């Protein structure tokens, strides 16, 4: 198992000012960090990747798509823009040294039609992702497509649908990720949700029901960890938590109140929690 911390707890665009925090995460025992990739400056990420390597830290990355570059838009030019930006993000991953690109870049976040996905939207999504997957293969980065809850997107809400989606993309560099927060909202049977996607699972987000410290809320982590062990998962477990440090991230994640002492304390407690749960089972 590899343990990571998503840097969105501190920044939507990590720079050198965050390196002391990254060094503390390394000292805690994290194997890597998850980098938000919204800034697509390849040169910046080349330099940042070199600094992470100097710390002996691995990394993964996360991104999103928006209305103007929606890969399931009825406008072919908008879909093409989504494919283009996903490919550029993969170039940044390669420059950074990121192993996996996760997130809801299959469709626009926060945009709704008032109904579920149409057959055309599903087809456009699969076709767009297949183009992205081909580029992912060229730059040797794994895609980890993410389902979000119904309040954030409508193409992929449950993990069974994510699994069907990536199977239809049918490319070795396109898999999916599992997220305990979204599963807690959408899945009727957590264990079955994990089993349904285990053959295409490449990444896991460990996140509490209130986005605070994992293990401090009401998510059924026993079932989550038990079933991940059952299906033989042994990849990245990345903490995804959000706080008040960044107004734009707080607004996007609907965090209005302080739910932990400090970001670094959350990171430390989260790592202890994950390692304890894994040690009980693996």
Q: What residues make up the domain containing 100? A: 2-280
**Which pLDDT does position 13 carry in this prediction?**
95
Q: Is the pLDDT of residue 245 over 90?
A: no
Place of tokens 């501190």: 10
* pLDDT range class, residue 246, cuts 50, 70, 90: confident
DSSP string, 209-225: TTSSSTTSSS--HHHHH
Q: What is the mean pLDDT of the chain?
A: 96
CB 181 within 8 A of CB 240: yes
- The number of domains in the chain is 1
Q: What angle do CA 220, 224, 227 make, to 5 degrees?
A: 140
Q: Residue 249 pLDDT more than 90?
A: no
pLDDT tens column, 71-119: 999 999 999 999 999 999 999 999 999 999 999 999 999 999 999 999 9
Measure the CA angle with vertex 152, ends 170 and 158; round to 5°.
Answer: 45
Answer whether residue 191 shows pLDDT above 90: yes
DSSP 198: G
CATH code of the domain covering residue 136:
3.20.20.150
Q: Count CA within 13 A, CB hemisphere, residue 266.
A: 28
Q: What number of residues does the chain have?
A: 282
Distance CA(180)–CA(4), nearest Å, equals 15
**pLDDT tens digits, 201-228:** 999 999 999 999 999 999 999 999 999 9
Q: What are the pLDDT digits (tens) for 16-31? A: 999 999 999 999 999 9
Q: What is the pLDDT of residues 137-175, one digit of tens each?
A: 999 999 999 999 999 999 999 999 999 999 999 999 999
Quick check: pTM over 0.85? yes
pLDDT at residue 243 tops 90: no
Q: Which has more confidence, 275 or 252?
A: 275
Exposed, middle or buried: residue 56 (CB in 10 Å: 0-12, 13-18, 19+)? exposed
The pLDDT, as a whole number, for residue 252 is 77
Identify the band that residue 199 occupies on the pLDDT scale cut at 50, 70 and 90. Answer: very high
Across the range 223-238, mean pLDDT stands at 98
Place of tokens 């570059």: 69
pLDDT reported for residue 257: 86
With cut-offs at 50, 70 and 90, classify the pLDDT of residue 254. confident
Residue 60 pLDDT: 98
């Amino acid at each position: 198992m590899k343990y990571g911390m998503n840097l969105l707890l501190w920044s939507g665009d990590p720079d050198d000012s965050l390196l002391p925090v990254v060094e503390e995460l390394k000292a805690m025992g994290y194997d890597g960090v998850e980098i938000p990739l919204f800034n697509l400056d390849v040169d910046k990420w080349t330099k940042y990747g070199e600094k992470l390597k100097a710390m002996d830290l691995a990394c993964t990355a996360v991104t999103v798509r928006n209305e103007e570059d929606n890969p399931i838009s009825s406008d072919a030019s908008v879909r093409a823009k989504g494919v283009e930006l996903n490919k550029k993000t993969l170039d940044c991953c390669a420059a950074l040294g990121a192993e996996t690109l996760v997130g809801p870049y299959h469709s626009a976040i926060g945009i709704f039609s008032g109904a579920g996905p149409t057959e055309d939207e599903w087809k456009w999504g699969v076709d767009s992702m297949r183009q992205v997957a081909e580029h992912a293969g060229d730059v040797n980065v794994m895609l980890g497509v993410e389902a979000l809850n119904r309040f954030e997107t409508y193409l992929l809400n449950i993990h069974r649908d994510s699994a069907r989606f990536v199977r239809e993309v049918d490319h070795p560099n396109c898999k999916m990720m599992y997220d305990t927060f979204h599963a807690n909202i959408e899945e009727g049977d957590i264990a079955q949700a994990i089993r349904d996607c285990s053959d295409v699972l490449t990444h896991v987000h460990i996140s509490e029901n209130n986005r605070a410290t994992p293990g401090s809320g009401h998510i059924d982590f026993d079932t989550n960890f038990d079933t991940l062990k059952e299906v033989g998962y042994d990849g990245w477990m990345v903490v995804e938590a959000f706080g008040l440090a960044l107004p734009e991230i707080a607004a996007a994640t609907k965090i209005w109140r302080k739910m932990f002492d400090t970001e670094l304390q959350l990171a430390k407690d989260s790592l202890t929690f994950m390692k304890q749960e894994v040690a009980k089972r693996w």
